[in-house]
Amino acid sequence: MITLLEFEDVKGRRPFGKWFSGLSLEATLRVDIALGRLEAGNFSNVKGVGTGLFEIRISFGPGYRIYFG
């Protein structure tokens, strides 16, 4: 099992949390599913985009991407 951590800047701001809280219910559920798959070790939908940077693409609505390292 992989532990996911949320970025927090020096002022205590959490950009992911702010973005996530503004999503619709259906988008929230789809992002939760994608993150749950990552936690379970399923990287089948992950693509490397640079040195140590990866993205998950979620094909829904306008299309969502989650970047992580």
Residue ranges of alpha helices (H) inside the chain are: 15-21, 25-39
| Mode of pairing for the β-strands spanning 53-58 and 64-68 | antiparallel
Q: Where are the domains of the chain?
A: 15-68
Residues forming beta bridges with residue 47, ordered by sequence position: 55
CA distance 67 to 35: 11
| Model pLDDT, residue 61 | 85
Predicted TM-score (pTM) of the model is 0.85
Q: Average pLDDT per run of 10 along the chain, which is 69 residues long?
A: 92 95 95 94 93 92 90
